[in-house]
Amino acid sequence: MRWSVSLCLVALLCVACGPDVDLSKGLQVEIVSTGWFDAGIINGQNKLVPTVSFTLKNVSGQKLSALQVNARFSRGNEPEEWGNGFLPSVGPGGLAPGATTAVLTIKSQLGYTGSDQSRAEMLQNSQFVDAKVELAVKYGGTQWKRLGEYPIQRQLITASP
């Protein structure tokens, strides 16, 4: 038990002591896809949630340990958050210089529900409001850095990305 606590402290100190990297310049987002994930039937209603799948490429010259990603979903031009998602770590050993992550997927916990329309019809409903997602990242003890904002495409995603 003592050894595991000691190892955790050493790992945290190593991350904290490394030079800071401006993640807005040292990390490149490659959007793979956005859309509306078919979350199934919840309380008797079809549910669609906004989803983003992407990769991150380390374009800095430094290994990025303990890399975390936050997604903030919002509807239309509304400034308030509608839903969110969080990835506590994008890889077990960090992201080496020049390396790219596997495809990362974040789904909002909130979305649209409907009982009298198919999922495809829900996307075409006149009351449907488009959404967008803002991605932010951090590593170690650094501050969150905004990487970009992306529209959620009106396409149905039926298989779990």
* Mean pLDDT for back-to-back runs of 10 residues, the chain (161 residues): 39 48 87 92 92 95 90 94 91 87 94 87 91 93 91 89 58
Contacts within 8 Å (CB) and 24+ apart, 142-149: 142/20, 142/21, 142/23, 144/70, 145/22, 145/23, 145/24, 145/27, 146/24, 147/23, 147/24, 147/27, 147/29, 148/29
Q: What is the per-residue pLDDT for 16?
A: 44
* CATH superfamily of this structure's domain 21-157: Immunoglobulins (2.60.40.10)
Position 116 scores a pLDDT of 82
pLDDT for 117 equals 84
